[in-house]
Amino acid sequence: MSSLNSSFKTRLSAHFVDAFVCEGEMITVEGWLTFYDEKEKEWKPLDGKVKFYLDGKEIGESEAKMGSFSFSFLSPYLGRHKIDIKFKAPGYEPSYKSLEFEVVKSEKKSHVLRAAKLVLVLIMLLVIFMILSIFIAKRL
């Protein structure tokens, strides 16, 4: 810290482990808590408590260790929701991260997964076709 009244800058980054969540499934948020070391001019991992709020209501906390944290909770009702992640500790500036997600019916999730698999198969077939075309063109 540069003076007695200053605080280290902090940063929260986070993401959902699964992009599509059905009602009744567990949702996991993973992330990192870091602080900026002015002396060394770099972001470094920070240990501390990170609190989680679902649609404005506190639902729990996780302990960041070596900067890494993970938190799981049961999905709420169908629809769009917001999770806020907050860090506050003496000597550090508070940090805040907000993520939005949608809880969908299981049928919608299975349709999306099927579509993703189909796209993957089509991409693989296209790559194989391109490799075969190059091989055949070199032989002519």
Of 66 and 107, the one with more pLDDT: 66
- Pair of tokens at residue 4: 């007695």
Report the pLDDT averaged over residues 65-72.
98
CA distance 81 to 34: 26
Q: Is the pTM here over 0.75, yes or no?
A: no
Of 89 and 1, the one with more pLDDT: 89
Task: Say if CB 83 and CB 101 are below 8 A apart.
Answer: yes
- How far from each other are the two terminal CA atoms of the chain, in whole angstroms? 69
In this prediction, residue 112 has a pLDDT band, given cuts at 50, 70 and 90, of: low
Q: Is the dihedral of CA 95, 12, 89, 7 positive or negative?
A: negative
Task: Say if CB 22 and CB 103 are below 8 A apart.
Answer: yes
CA distance 32 to 46: 8
